[in-house]
Structure 1
Amino acid sequence: MGHREGIFGFVMAGFGSRQRKWSAGRFVALALGVSAPVLFWAATTYAPDNWSWQHLTQPLAAVNAAERQFDGTAQQAEQRTPSATSTTPEVMPKAPPPLGTRRPLSEVPNDGSPEGRLLEVYRLIGEGKMREALARAQKLTQDIPNFQLAQLTYGDLLLAQTMPLQTVGNAPSTLSDKASERIGQLRTEALRRIAALQERPPVGAIPKSFIELPASTRHAIAVDASRSRIYLFENRGNGLQLVDDHYASIGKLGAEKSVQGDQRTPIGVYYITSRLEPSQLTDFYGAGALPLNYPNEHDKRLGRTGSGIWVHGVPSDSYARSPQSTDGCVALANPELKAIMDRVQPRTTPVVIARQLEWVEPQAQEGERRSLRNLIEGWRVARSSGDMNRLLNFYSPKFSSGAKDLSQWRQQLSQEAGTGRARNLQIKDLAILAWHDRSDLMVVTFGEVAENQTTGVIKRQYWTKEDGLWKIFFEGVIG
C-alpha cells in the first residue's frame, strides 16, 4: 500500500461505519487534492455494500483538478526564473496582527457569499450545533465543490461524529510533507478569513495612503498582505467608502518584490493600466486580469526588475488559492474578481499594496492634505511665472524623466516658459497618494490646462523627501 493509501486508512480508521469512512475519505481527498486512483482505492475498500459511482456527489473531475493544482502541474502563465538571491519564504503570521476590536463569530453576519457561509459553519461549531453545522457544510460543498477549505471543514465535521477535533484539518501526523504543507496552508487560509471578518477596519476609516482623490477617480483598491485581504473603495461625494473586501493570495515568498522571478508581491502605490478578459488569457487567470504599472518610477529608480504583476482570478477548477501561492500577483476567487472588474476603470484606479495597511479617519489627514495641496500649488505658481530658479527648487538633483536629467529638463522648462505655454496653468482632478519605502514618497496625478484652454495633458509626478523637503524625482505626461 502506498503512503497516500496509508493516509486514508489512518484517517478513516476512526469512523464507526463504512459509510462514514467513505464520506470522510472523500472530503479529505478533495481538500488535499489526492489522486483519483487513490479515491477509487478508498471507495472500493471502505464503501458501503450498496455504494455505486452515483453516490459521488462531487465529480471525479474535481478531484483530478485538485490534484493538478496540488502537484503544481497546472499550466501557469506566471512562470519566471527564480532568483538565486531571494529564495527564502517570508514568514508571514498565520493569524494577522490585530486591526481593531475583535467581535465574536456570533456577531459576524452571513452575507450569503461562500466565505460568509463558511464562517457561519464555524460559528455553529463554536456554539456546539454540530448537526446544523454539518448540514450547512454539506450544502456549501455541494454548491461549490472546488472550495477546498469548505471540503476540509466538512471532513472535520464528519470526523467529529466519532472523535474530538483538535484543530482545523484534524489530519494524522503521519501525512506526507506535501499533504502536511497543504493542510497548513488551509489552516492559515481559515485563520485569515476568520480574522478579516472578526476584525473590521474602523467605520469610516481609510488606508493612510489615500490623501486625496478627485471625483473622476470612482474607485480605489488596497491590499493588506498580512491579512490576505483586498479592499474596494467607492469615491462618493463625502469621500471614500469601503464597499467590499475579499480574501486574496500574494507571492509564494511574501511581499516586497525586488528582482525578476523572486516570487514576491511588490509594495507601493500602483495604477491599473488595462483590463484583460478571459478570452485574452489562459484558464490559469480565471475570470480575467487587471495589470498594474509595476515597476513604477520609484521601483525603477531603485533598480527593481520584473513585470506582469496583475490582480487576477484563479483556474476554473479552483475556488481560491492559499495565502502565499502566486509568483507575485494578487489572486482572488473568480466571482469576486469579476465584481471588481465590473466596477473599476483602468488608468484612473489606484492600487495600494502594503505589508500592513494603516487605517486613519479622513479628517485626521486634513492637515497633511492641506500642506501637500499648498506644496503643489507652489510648484504650479512657479511654473506659471517662468521663474526657473524658484521652479527648480522643487526638483531633486537626481531627477530624471525618460532620458532627460535635471539639466535637460531645465532646458525644456525654459523653452516652455519662453513660448508662454506655461503661463497661468491650472491644475484639475488632483490625486495624491503617499507611502513609505526607504523614504517618504508620494505620487501626484493631475490634469494640466493652459490659459484659455478647456483641455490639456495628464501629468504624473513622483516626489520624495530629501533632507526633510519634498522634491520631484520624476515627471511625465501619461495622457
Structure 2
Amino acid sequence: MPGSALKIGLWALACVALWSSWPARALAAQAEKAQTPARKTPAAAPRAAAVRDGEAEARLIEIYRLIGRSANREALKQAEGLVKDHPNFQLAQLVYGDLLAGQMRPVKTLGDVPEGEAKAAAPVLADLRKESQQRLRALRERPAPGLVPSQFLALSPQNKHAIAVDASKSRLYLFENTATGLKLVADYYISVGKLGTEKAVEGDQRTPLGVYFITSNLNPRSLKDFYGAGALPINYPNQLDLKRGKTGSGIWLHGTPPEQFSRAPQASDGCVVLANPDLERIIRTVEVRSTPVVISQSLKWVPPQSLKAEVQSFEEALKGWHTTKSSGDIRKLTAWYTPDFTSYGKTFAQWTPTLQSELKQVGNRGTQIKDVSYLRWTDTADTMVVTFGEVAKGARTGLTKRQYWVRQGTQWKIFFEGTL
C-alpha cells in the first residue's frame, strides 16, 4: 500500500482511503451475494459461538490503528486472523481485501476496481463504508466517564440494568444500576430500520423512539435463523405511542443470521439488531419486564447530579397525587388526571370502580410508595414514565404500578395508570 494513501494526518482518514479499494474477485463475490437469495448455512463453529462480546470490533479497530501507523504487515497478519475467526464479518473481509490489494499494486483512486464490478457491488460497498464510519464515530465520540443519558432521571433497585440506543451513532449502551448510580458496562454497534427512526405505522420500516421495557426473552430454538442468537421484544407501542395513534408490533432486540456478523446501519424492518455475541451478553445480563430501553435519535449525556432538581420537582407532583388518593376523595383525585385518561382501554369513569376497590381494600391504613423509577421522554411533549410499588402500610407486598404523566403548562397530569 503506497505511503501517500496512509500518511494523512488523522489515522481515521487514512483508513477511509484504504477501505475504498477492493480486489475485483471479492467485489464480484459481494455483488453476487447481494443479488442472490441467502442460502441456509451450517451453524457457526464452536470457536466463533463462544467469542466474547465486542471482541471482533476491538480487533478490527486495532487493525485500523496499525494501518494508521503504516504497520501494514502486522495489520495484514491480524486481519487474516480476524477473517479466519469470523468469516462472516464482511467489514473485516473488506479491510483484509484492501490490505491484500496493496501487496499487489498501488491504490490510485478511491474504489480502484473495474467499473462494472464496482457498479454491481456499489450498494454492498456503500453499506460497509457506512458501518465502518459509524463504528469509528461512536468510538471517537464516546461519552465522558460518569455521564448518563438524560432520560434516566432515577432508577429503583428493581431496575438492575438499563439500555440506551443512540440511532445517530448506530450504538447501544448497556448500564448496570449500582449502589452509586448507573455504570456503563458495555456498548455495541447496532442496526436500525431501513427508513430510519420515528416509527408511526405498521410496516413503515422505522425504529420507534421512546421509553420501552423488555417484555420477554424468546428462545432462539423457536425462531428462524434470521434472528440469530435470540430476541428480546420490547413493549412497542407503549402508552404514549397508543395515545398518539401509532400502530405496529414485533419490535425486538435480536441477532443476525449465520451468514452475517453484522448488518448495515439501516437494515431492519424496525428492530434493533446486534451481532450475536453482543446480543448473547445482553440476554445473559438483563431482566425481563424491569429493564428499561430508551431509544433516541441522539442521546444527550449529562452528569447524574444535574438530574436531581428535575427528580425533586416531579416528586412533589407524585407526592401530591398520593396524598390526594390517600384522602379517598375521588372528586379531588380526578383533578390529577387528563380528560383523555385511559387504563388499558377504560376511560377514567370506567376505571373509577377499580380505584374505589383499591381504596376500600386499604381502608384507613393508607399506602406507601416504594421502589420508584422515573424515566423522562421529551419531544413535542414532556412525558414521565413512573413505575413504583404501592403497598398498604403494615403489608409486605402490594401492587406494582406504572403511570404516564404529561406536563401541561406548569402542572403534571396522569394520562395512563395500570397495574403490571
Q: CA contact under 8 A between 1:458 and 1:477: conserved in structure 2?
A: yes
Q: Is the 8 A contact 2:23 2:113 kept in 1?
A: no
- Matching of residue 214 in structure 1 with residue 156 in structure 2: yes
Which one-letter code corresponds to 2:413 in the other structure? K
Using a 3 Å threshold, how does the CA distance of structure 1 residues 340 and 422 change in structure 2: closer, same or farther? farther
Distance 1:266 1:430, change over 3 A: same
**Structure 1 stretches of 5 or more lacking a match?**
1-22, 35-66, 77-110
After TM superposition, list the pairs within 5 Å mapping 1:159-308 onto structure 2: 159-161=101-103, 162-164=105-107, 166-167=109-110, 171-175=113-117, 179-308=121-250
Deviation at 1:407, TM superposition (A): 2.4
- The aligned counterpart of 2:295 is 353
Which AA in structure 2 matches 1:213? L
* Distance (whole Å) between structure 1 residues aligned to residue 284 and residue 391 of structure 2: 31
| Separation in 2, partners of 1:393, 1:355 | 34
CA contact (8 A) 1:421 1:450 kept: no
Q: Deviations over 1:102-156 (max 9, x none)?
A: xxxxxxxxx9811111111111111111111111111111111110001111111
Find the partner of 2:355 among 408, 413, 420: 413
Q: CA deviation at 1:24?
A: 3.6
Q: Structure 1 pair 172/459, CA: closer, same or farther in 2 (3 Å)?
A: farther
CA distance in 1, matches of 2:153, 2:225: 37
After superposition, give the CA deviation of every residue in 1:323-357 in whole Å (9 maximum; x if it has no partner): 00000000010011001100001000000000000
Structure 1 residue 389: Cα displacement? 3.6
Contact 1:399 1:406 in 2 (8 A): yes
How far apart are 1:415 and its partner, in Å? 4.8
Shift in Å, 1:418: 4.9
- The equivalences for 1:40-55 within 5 A come to none
For residues 161-217 of structure 1, the C-alpha deviation after alignment (integer angstroms, 9 at most, x for no partner) is 3113655x6545544655211111100100011111122101100100001111121
1:338 to 2:287 alignment: no
Is residue 387 from structure 1 mapped to residue 351 from structure 2 by the alignment?
Answer: no
Q: 1:112 to 1:221 in 2, by over 3 A?
A: closer
Shift of 1:378: 1.6
Distance 1:448 1:303, change over 3 A: same
**Residue 419 and residue 245 in structure 1: after superposition, are their counterparts in 2 closer, same or farther (change >3 A)?**
closer
- Residue 258 of structure 2 corresponds to 316
Code of the residue aligned with 1:405 in structure 2: it is T
Mapped contact 1:28–1:155 kept (Cα < 8 A)? no
CA distance in 1, matches of 2:248, 2:28: 37
Structure 2 partner of 1:62: none
Question: Partner of 2:385: helix, strand, or coil?
Answer: strand
Counterpart of 1:133 in structure 2 is 75
Cα deviation, 1:411-443, whole Å, max 9, x if unaligned, reads 443454355448521111111101123201111
TM-score, normalization by structure 1? 0.77
1:73 aligns with 2:9: no
Contact 1:156 1:170 in 2 (8 A): no
Q: Is the contact between residue 221 and residue 233 of structure 1 (CA under 8 Å) also seen in structure 2?
A: yes
Deviation string for 1:234-271 (max 9, x for gaps)?
01110000000000000000001000000000000000
Deviations 1:289-334 (A, max 9, x none): 0000000011111111110000000001210000000000000100
158 and 400 in structure 1: CA distance in 2 versus 1, 3 angstrom threshold: same
- Segments of structure 2 that go 5 or more residues without pairing to the other structure are 1-21, 41-52
SS of the counterpart of 1:356? coil
Alignment partners' CA distance in 2, 1:449 and 1:418: 14
Contact 2:207–2:272, Cα closer than 8 Å, also in 1:
yes
Which amino acid in structure 2 is aligned with residue 204 of structure 1? Answer: G
CA–CA distance in structure 2, aligned partners of residues 459 and 348 of structure 1: 12
**RMSD, matched Cα:** 2.1
- Indicate the percent of aligned positions where both proteins have the same amino acid: 50
- Greater per-residue strand proportion: 2
Q: Tell me the equivalent position of 2:268.
A: 326
Which letter maps to 2:27? V
Alpha-carbon distance between aligned partners in 2 of 1:237 and 1:441, rounded to the nearest angstrom:
26
Aligned length: 386
Is the CA contact (8 Å cut-off) linking 2:24 and 2:114 kept in structure 1?
A: no
Q: Does 1:442 align with 2:406?
A: no
Paired with 2:92 and 2:211, the residues of 1 have a C-alpha distance of 34
